[in-house]
Amino acid sequence: MGKRSVLAGLAAALAATSLALVPATAAGAHGVSHSDQYKRVGYFIQWGIYGRQYFVKNLETSGQAARLTHINYAFGNVDASGQCASADPWADYQRPVSAEESVDGVADAPGQALNGNFNQLLKLKKKHPGLKVLLSLGGWTLSANFSNAALTDASRKALVKSCIDTFMSTGVFDGFDFDWEWPGSEGNPGNVIRPEDKQNFTLLVAEFRKELGKKAILSAFLPAAPAKIDAGFEVKKIFKYLDFGSVQGYDYHGTWETTTNQQSALYVPRGAPTTPDFSGASSLKAWTDRGAPKRQLVLGVPYYGQGWTGVTNANHGLFQSATGPAPGTWAAGNEDYKVLATLPQQGYKVYHDLLSGHAWLFNGTTFWTFDDPVVVAQKGLFVRLSGYGGAMIWSLDGDDANGTLTKTIYTTLH
């Protein structure tokens, strides 16, 4: 029986038994339990406090905080002067938080030094002393100035000093997550790109490690595409400085295409119209093939789906032509898991390809590719059985109020 069949059977069994998995107990290096070494990393978006009404407190009430090892706070900015800066000072540290929205039920006092999300994260860490919080730098829309900031020894030193002075001084953060999208290759239009970004990324991470020391945590968000890996990353070198890297496990397909497809399958499905195609397994393998240590690679898991409408009613909607993106709450063609999970009560049917590790919803005309608890369990089992380092979540606000997906990750990876 192949690995795909094993994972399919285990995921189905887990789903049938409410995801009850006995954690591994084999001792690893230095007497640490092998099961304690998995990283469960979730991105918290600073702008979620606005329209989404998703606060740091929700990490506590949903049970997510108790089941994570790291929170990546998204995002900090590298500004045009090559300095670290807050992307939203009001959300980060200025906004007074009411008692109702506070982690510990205590409102921010007038005149206190630190308010906003930062103070709430401090309160969350007091409740969960083992939880680490990283400041994620960049992201899709804030990567424009990375190349300039990393260009010379002097500019790298200046950036690192400003990041330490601006963010580490708050006492909130245990390190940094580098979300430079992408060194040496195109990301958001207008980003500065240079061939030497590849070497300069290594030098930048090395400078952070030098100044912060071994106790600080450094991670990076890493692309799935082999071309972007080769253009931007000295793979064998960067993992000397990074604690781990989160590999993009989603956005493999979406409504920029006119054919419905998987956005986050564990393996490439049979009959896929794109060859070669992306998958979670192949994306991780692209990194190990280039020398990345398995235990330092974390698989990204989406808490949202990609959707099309005007879909041909054949093959349960999979690999069919569509007229455009499906309506979404915050953006066309995009919807949170917590909303998608309610669609079976609205005439949609859930379909699983257990061998490939992906799921979708279809109602005869609208199609959503998404990760449900069965798929998330498969991915956790795959990480566990294949010797990888854990799972990463984009983003925590997409889960339901009970933290169902996060609890599934914890069940399979603790």
**What residues are annotated to the active site?**
181
User: What angle in degrees, to the nearest 10, is found between the helix axes of 373-386 and 3-16?
Assistant: 130
User: Do the Cβ atoms of 367 and 317 come closer than 8 Å?
Assistant: yes
Q: Quote the tokens at residue 291.
A: 């020398």
Give residues with Cβ within 8 angstroms of 240, minimum separation 6: 206
Reported as type and span, the H/E element at residue 59 is: helix 56-61
Q: Quote the tokens at residue 328.
A: 């979404």
Omega of the bond leading into 276 within 30 degrees of 0 (cis): yes
Q: Quote the tokens at residue 224.
A: 């799935």
CA 162 to each of CA 54, 149, 224: distance values in angstroms, whole numbers, following the listed order: 29, 11, 30
The Cα 14–Cα 1 span in angstroms is 18
